[in-house]
Amino acid sequence: AASRRAGTTPRQPGVDRVGIIGAGAMGAGIGAAFALAGIGVQLIDTDATQAQRGRERIQQTLDKAVARGRLSVEAAVGVSARLGASTDSADLGDADLVIEAVVEDPDVKVSVLRAAAVAAPDAVLATNTSYLSVSRLAESLEDPSRLVGMHFFNPADVMKLVELVPGSTASPRTLGVALQASKQLRKVAVLAGDAEGFIGNRIYSVYRRHAEYLLEDGALPEDVDAAMEGFGFGMGPFAVADLSGLQIARSLRDRWRSTGRLPARYVDIPDLLCDRGWWGRRSGRGYYRYEEGRRIPDP
């Protein structure tokens, strides 16, 4: 009422509880970002261990923030009491916003979004897809206006940028809730068109492609990365690929292959790594070797 008297617009009610489907690297990171902002988080994963692991990762982030004096003990205790992890999408019931961060497979994404639309009938739905068309995913829902792309970057509780992708179907309310949530997270939100890779990954893919050409031409990943880091990049393209996990770019290449869109010069080195199960940091090996998540030198 006071704000109305002063002639300003009343504050839009904020997001109070978020549901996150897929408690992997991104789901847990996004959950940590919301928890740090004091927002309740319900994690859902088909794999119960993964859901619990995601919850632990969020709790550790809260504990670290308290230890560093960035969060009060009361705030941390309050939000950890509102931290849930389960395998049942019915637990999404009271979420204002549900974000899916499951594997980069359109069929899996559509099925979890459909289930979320029913479980949380009033929630805005968001997808954290890296490369899929948000409008296409939305068209598979009963109400396409409820879906928006919210593309976070890894690690999601650290990286400031979030790309918001309304596609051709999101309603103004849907986009408004995504914007409001980004504000609560204190992220830098940019609006992106529904193009493959949106903004960040689309531009980055050009660097990555040329980095792969260099491998084929005889360069080593560590030299390419060192050069790019010396050039001012926070991380070189192969270190980034290992951190993100090679499976995301693999599913993009598989889609190109099945729709006849493979580029004229196609480098198959990343496919060879994937075929060996070298998916990056999480599997202990990608372009580099890792032990307990830390890079170790090649023997």
State the residues that interact with ligand NAI by CB under 6 A. Answer: 21-27, 44-47, 50, 101-104, 108, 112, 128-130, 152-154, 244-245, 248
Q: How far is the CB of 253 from ligand NAI (least distance, A)?
A: 13
Closest by CA to 35, choosing from 93, 102, 85, 89, is 85
Q: How far is the CB of 115 from ligand NAI (least distance, A)?
A: 8
> Nearer Cβ to ligand NAI, position 76 or 249?
249
Q: How far is the CB of 47 from ligand NAI (least distance, A)?
A: 4
> Nearer Cβ to ligand NAI, position 77 or 103?
103
> Nearer Cβ to ligand NAI, position 76 or 85?
85
Q: How far is the CB of 297 from ligand NAI (least distance, A)?
A: 24
Q: How far is the CB of 103 from ligand NAI (least distance, A)?
A: 5
> Nearer Cβ to ligand NAI, position 38 or 255?
255
Q: How far is the CB of 258 from ligand NAI (least distance, A)?
A: 17
Position with the least CB separation from ligand NAI: 24
Q: How far is the CB of 5 from ligand NAI (least distance, A)?
A: 43
> Nearer Cβ to ligand NAI, position 25 or 165?
25
Q: How far is the CB of 109 from ligand NAI (least distance, A)?
A: 7
> Nearer Cβ to ligand NAI, position 161 or 227?
161
CA angle 150, 152, 153 (to 5 degrees): 160
What the block records as the tokens of 88 is 């049942």
Three-state helix/strand/coil letters over the chain: CHHHHCCCCCCCCCCCEEEEECCCHHHHHHHHHHHHCCCEEEEECCCHHHHHHHHHHHHHHHHHHHHCCCCCHHHHHHHHCCEEEECCHHHHCCCCEEEECCCCCHHHHHHHHHHHHHHCCCCEEEECCCCCCHHHHHHCCCCHHHEEEEEECCCCCCCCEEEEECCCCCCHHHHHHHHHHHHHCCCEEEECCCCCCCCHHHHHHHHHHHHHHHHHCCCCHHHHHHHHHHCCCCCCHHHHHHHHCHHHHHHHHHHHHHCCCCCCCCCCHHHHHHHCCCCEHHHCECCCEEECCEEECCC
> Nearer Cβ to ligand NAI, position 32 or 71?
32
Task: Write the Ramachandran bin of 150: left for phi over 0, alpha for psi from -120 to 50, otherwise beta.
Answer: beta
> Nearer Cβ to ligand NAI, position 43 or 71?
43
